[in-house]
Chains A and B, each alone.
Chain A
Amino acid sequence: MMDWPILSVLIWLPIVGGVAVLMLGEKRLELARWTGLAAAVATFVLSLPLFQAFDRGTPNMQFQELVPWIETFNLNYHLGVDGLSLPLILLTTFISVLVIVGAWGAINQRVAQYLAAFLILEGLMVGVFCALDAFLFYVFFEAMLIPMFLIIGIWGGPNRVYATIKFFLYTFLGSVFMLVALIYLYLNADSAAILDLHQLPLGLTEQIWIFIAFLLAFAVKIPMFPVHTWLPDAHVEAPTGGSVILAAIMLKIGGYGFVRFSLPITPDASLTLDWLLIGLSLVAVVYVGLVALVQQDMKKLIAYSSISHMGFVTLGLFIAFAIFARTDGTSGAALGVEGAMVQMMSHGFVSAALFFCVGVMYDRIHSRQIADYGGVVNTMPWFAAFMVLFAMANCGLPGTSGFVGEFMVILASFQANFWYAALAGLTLILGAAYSLWLVKRVIFGDIANDKVAKLKDINFREGLTLGALAVAVLGFGIWPQPLVDLMHASVDNLLTHIAQSKI
């Protein structure tokens, strides 16, 4: 345990840093850039003690902070982390540094505002993962939309207005229902503490309504088929940093929502409706995988690939119930849930890396169309090596982090049903097909045109960004134990909790 409020620092340091950058403004740009970088790096460094000091033996919330917020309604500024949220916080602080570094050369307009938006966004995202009060969670959850809305709307591509409105309405529509559900739960439990809501007894009908309300919010966020179509549009229009944060972290908030709210608050509804979630997850893997195959725009392809990979997260979470039904004990289910968590982390690295890669090419040629490239390896060999590595991670090659989560979820789903595993396993073929076909058309081949011929290989800053991600991707692929080890106690606790009926 810390003798200083580490979680508050991780939330407010980047926000304060963001405001400072905003005030320094365009006039003192260099100073603003370095201030932004310092804030992001400091946040990352300060988040590392979390990993060190975290007690892996207990599922209880750690590093808790509790300050009354709105006393009339018994709402609290209540923070804490467990094994489910801690990895995601580290992911957030890590990726944020890379985004700030990545903005150095790529963004030339309203730079200070851009950096500020990302820093504030970082604080809010950490807040989402730390919040233990339902309404505090909701405030962070909604507030997060604003900087992202601005990032796409201001620094985005030509069709950014359509994309931002679609993004905003989609996610907002979902979260309104969540708000209704939270108010209902709050009135029933007479508490807004998320952990109290976990214990609240609810009838099946109530649970199903609440489950659906949460589902609307989180299914849009993660996103699940058929509410996924905002994501490709948002990615295509977003600047590189926006895509990176969107894919690497914001999608994970959907998955986090399922484990923090849906499963523990409405376990019986989750059990009743698991077929729906499993079905939609498998559709995501197969249908969206096929859609990814025919994309002409690199960012769209990676966006669809993200949706397909998120299918493994929801699959891993909800097959738990099917495994309960088939076997006694929770060991197979733990494999699935931990697989889902690992998949979220891994996708955070891999999708971030792939969007950075597209950004590197876009900065040079200003096109995202696959057809405008070909033979990039001839002029950018180091870049090509990174791109092939991340494409391989994207198709789940053992030795990369992309393998671990998919492997665990497929192993677990086999225990539920052979066909779940078989359909999920198709990702081995589809993922390789769309990832490596992309590589074939963009990276390999003879130099396709004059623009490719003039390409310069990655610079030091880009190398640093991609290199850091490569280390993460390979590191967790070769030794995922430190990551999984963080989760055991919390996952076991979650599974014991959801295995018991609330009715």
Chain B
Amino acid sequence: MMANQYLAIALAPLFGAIVAGLFGRQIGRAGAHWITIAAVTVSTVLSLDVLRRFLFDGLPVYNESVYTWMVSGGIRFEVGFLVDKLTAVMMCVVTFVSLMVHIYTIGYMREDPGYQRFFAYISLFTFAMLMLVMANNFMQLFFGWEAVGLVSYLLIGFWYKKPTAIFANLKAFLVNRVGDFGFLLGIAAVLMTFGSLDYAEVFAAAPTATGATIELFEGRPWDLMTVICILLFIGAMGKSAQAPLHVWLPDSMEGPTPISALIHAATMVTAGIFMVARMSPLYELSETTLSVVLVIGAFTAFFMGLIGLVQNDIKRVVAYSTLSQLGYMTAALGASAYSAAIFHLMTHAFFKALLFLGAGSVIIAMHHKQDMQEMGGLRRYMPITWITGIIGTLALIGFPGFSGFYSKDAIISAVEHAGRAGQGFATVALVAGVFVTALYSFRLLYLTFHGKPRMDDHTREHLHESPWVVTLPLILLAIPSVGIAWFSAGPLLFGDFWGDAIFVAEGRDPLSHLREIWNGPVGFALHGFVTLPVWLALGGAAIATYIYLFNPALAGSIRKGLGPLVSVLEKKYGFDELYQKLFASGSRGLGSVFWRGGDQTIIDGLIVNGSARTVGWLSGVVRKIQTGRLYAYAFAMILGLIGLLGFVVYRGQA
């Protein structure tokens, strides 16, 4: 019974994608959006139903194979679903945001010639993402993992005539592949260690592998679980854009805005977070890995947030904000606060999708201009976008009462009490990050919606609020951005909602401290006002208000005063340049050396053609003997005869 429901959830978007993709011309634009929206609606409703059954009907965990993909070497590779509460939450987030984005796209892509193709892609993405979160084994996880990467590639390069877009999509795919390289090795390590790729079997056997070692270098044993977890985490760093594999995400903004919201904010980039939470029974066995995860997450959270301060492209600010927020989630994982990470993943999915779609709404009004320096004063023309933008911003900075407050506060508190190496740095970075977040968020808000309009007259005359297909998703996303935490924070963070889906080692619950002061959402929000992060957020907001609302000239002088720092931030710490030189140019250079030097000069030049030349030269020499003169031949024969005779006589005597 449930099997059919799960199959329907996963396959409905695939069906929509195939129809819209292959028969786009026949069914027309309206046909394409109706069929894909209908399919995603089916998935959404059925996913919500699954969650409802888990909450109220005590639905048992589902873990069954759909079909046997392959049997080789005695190992069964299955395609199947594992649906527990973690999966159910992810399914709801994915399908709900996807549905909002589908509807929104009707407005955003209205004039685009690739309309049907776009719907096909986002539906295909929904299918791939569902396969990823619903997988019950590593092989299928990897399928979903790479399939979302494929669709991300196709969508970043959706406007294939744009040189920056097709550069960005190649970059995104390759950087993700670097992550996937580690991920695949991690999967291979899992198979070697446990002889299976099935989650349940691997997790059950995981404790037996503690203390096991692997010698990557002769005579230097490494802890096996640490190796496995770090390799898997490299995959998460690629997909969830953690430093130093973050470089693709800002460039991915070259794609249309709806997919920035869906793929590069709400769902795909959180796959790494989901994966680590899913693998919590493994990660809990490696303290070292968790420290690494903690530090990398905190580093990304703070330093990527800083870059957001100097960006002028509205989408790029939101993109750096996404990097930073993903850093928060990662840090939570590193603190063993998996539930806090997933909770922030969920709240972030709503408010970040809202912020992106809001930015998209602004971009529509601005005739696809994205530079905030040419905006300003838009609140008068687009009130819905403005108000929902404020809601998204408040949620993002963690204003008490908004959903982001609960999740971010839980993360900071968990990291404070993580009790493992790197915790000091992480706490400072995350708390300081709150201030930075508020600063860039309000900067964006003011530059876009407040102050004097700075756009040209033509644009200003045509400013108007976006159509309802755009604003409706904004409103529908604003609701959970405000209130989703009111009833979910308790059970998700402090209750035993997750059951066996998330495993935290005995006596190591970093949220226990917070649980003691938890007294319901209202009390907790009030308590927020006596904590440092909230005041930092308010401080950031206040400074942004002063600079960008009341004293715009100040921004320029601050920028001048902090010249070197600003230029470091504008160069994004030089990651892009370094990678371009080291990897892009480096590998091409190496390829050229191998090709010209190895293949052409040594193998072909020296050996192949060289041996041909040697044969030619040798035959030239031998040819000289064949003179065609009879007496020379006769002479040679006589010499030979004498030699032969001499030999026989000599042998006869001896």
Chain A contacts to B: CB under 8 angstroms: 166, 170, 226, 229-230, 287, 290-295, 330-336, 338-339, 375, 377-378, 388, 392, 395, 397-399, 403-404, 407-408, 410-415, 418-419, 421-422, 425-426, 428-430, 432-433, 436-437, 440, 443-446, 479-481, 484-485, 488
Contact = CB atoms under 8 A, between A and B. Distances in A.
A181 to B, nearest CB: 22
A129 to B, nearest CB: 22
A437 B139 CA distance: 27
B43 to A, nearest CB: 19
Contacts of B170: 436-437, 440
Given A414-B189, A432-B174, A481-B68, A333 B73 contact: yes
Interface stretch (B5-13, B477-485, B591-599, B620-628): B591-599
B72 interface: yes
A207 to B, nearest CB: 26
6 residue pairs, one from A and one from B, having the closest CB atoms: A335-B73, A414-B188, A294-B591, A290-B591, A334-B73, A398-B143
B48 interface: no
B214 A166 contact: no
A226 B603 contact: yes
Given A433-B587, A445-B166, A428 B73 contact: no
Interface stretch (B179-187, B280-288, B367-375): B179-187
Nearest to B214: A418
A398 B207 CA distance: 30
A488 B143 CA distance: 24
A167 to B, nearest CB: 11
B150 A440 contact: no
B529 interface: no
B23 interface: no
A331 B181 contact: no
A415 B192 contact: yes
B508 interface: no
B593 to A, nearest CB: 9
Contacts of A410: 184-185, 188
B69 interface: yes
Given A444-B157, A484-B71, 19 more contacts: A170-B608, A291-B599, A330-B73, A331-B74, A331-B75, A338-B73, A375-B160, A388-B154, A398-B147, A399-B143, A407-B139, A414-B192, A415-B191, A421-B188, A425-B181, A426-B181, A428-B184, A429-B177, A485-B71
Say whether chain B's binding surface is mostly helix, strand, loop, or mixed. helix
B582 to A, nearest CB: 13
Interface in B77-102: none
Nearest to B183: A428
B70 A446 contact: no
Given A166-B608, A339-B72, A411 B187 contact: yes
Contacts of B67: 479
Interface string B145-158: 11100100110010
Interface of B: 67-75, 139, 142-143, 145-147, 150, 153-154, 157, 160-161, 163, 166-167, 170, 173-174, 177-178, 180-181, 184-185, 187-189, 191-192, 214, 216, 587-588, 590-592, 594-595, 598-599, 603-604, 607-608
B143 A445 contact: no
Given A414-B189, A446-B161, A229 B174 contact: no
6 contacts: A291-B591, A395-B177, A398-B147, A437-B170, A445-B163, A480-B69
A292 B185 contact: no
A499 to B, nearest CB: 14
Contacts of B594: 287, 290-291
B599 A229 contact: yes
A483 to B, nearest CB: 9
Contacts of A419: 216
A411 B191 contact: yes
A421 B185 CA distance: 7
A179 B74 CA distance: 37
A292 B161 contact: no
Nearest to A392: B150
Contacts of A335: 72-73, 75
A445 B162 CA distance: 6
Contact of B142 (A398, A418, A437): A398
A491 to B, nearest CB: 9
B143 A338 contact: no
Nearest to A414: B188
Given A293-B587, A428-B180, A229 B604 contact: yes
A377 B160 contact: yes
Contacts of A294: 588, 591-592, 595
Contacts of B599: 229, 291
A407 B167 CA distance: 28
Contacts of B174: 429, 432-433, 436
A331 B192 CA distance: 11
A168 to B, nearest CB: 12
Given A333-B73, A412-B73, A479-B67, A293 B180 contact: no
A384 to B, nearest CB: 9
Contact of A428 (B69, B160, B177, B604): B177
